[in-house]
Structure 1
């Protein structure tokens, strides 16, 4: 299956206009609010991936993968195009975000507070290098709404932010 790079480029440009930036960028979205990231692998079950893509699009969350599928940009682009199926959702290959938030299991959900420190990880070591008060992380094969509900009820300092993303999912 040939990869339409022009279509991919146009979809990426649209994403950047409508979705949040990744977790290792400026540390907040364009409106100054919190960031929601969903860490996935393209080898996860298809049903799980489709559910998370749909929910991330509605919530304006970013989907992140660690690296290339089969070590191939072409395979990664083809798989991503098929998975996103025209949905407007931020999608990025970002191994530094996996390091920054100590992601060892997918799916993982990370909610980063507004104004969080965005200093890049410098030492390349294992484990989180983001300040622990700047984010909350949850891992497991659950839906995005379940993850946000869990965060809202179990982590009071992130309750308002999680609630805002829950409202986007419902809307």
Structure 2
């Protein structure tokens, strides 16, 4: 397994925030945002065991590191999921909405760099907010296809037919194969 592309920055920020070097952590080929969320939590948990940090100290330290590393609002949603073991719908500046969805088994096939959307107006913004709500209540092939169509419209990313789904992944989009 290779060292994640974000590791050098994380190492520097982690040491600045805590005074310690994180243990080297290797994560499989999963989307970058997931890699970062899992490995950074493991690193702070390892330090927490040695220094007897409280739960609040663990999460507040992660929040500071997250802001310095990426400062993406979606990372706050991911941390909520990690902390409370709940699936949620998350929108910046709003409280998370807990949803009951069964876990998905996925395999990352590829990642593609994304830039600014090619086309964006209020109807597309509305659709991009509506589709996750729809998927949380009905994770059907038709709804996945609709969301993949949005990725194609915004970034020109085609999805192969079948059980595949594009997901946001920092400055990338990752194509996942849905295995269940």
What TM-score comes out, normalization by structure 2 length? 0.29
Q: Which has the higher contact order (CA 8 A, sep 6+)?
A: 1
Higher helix share: 2
Higher Cα radius of gyration: 2
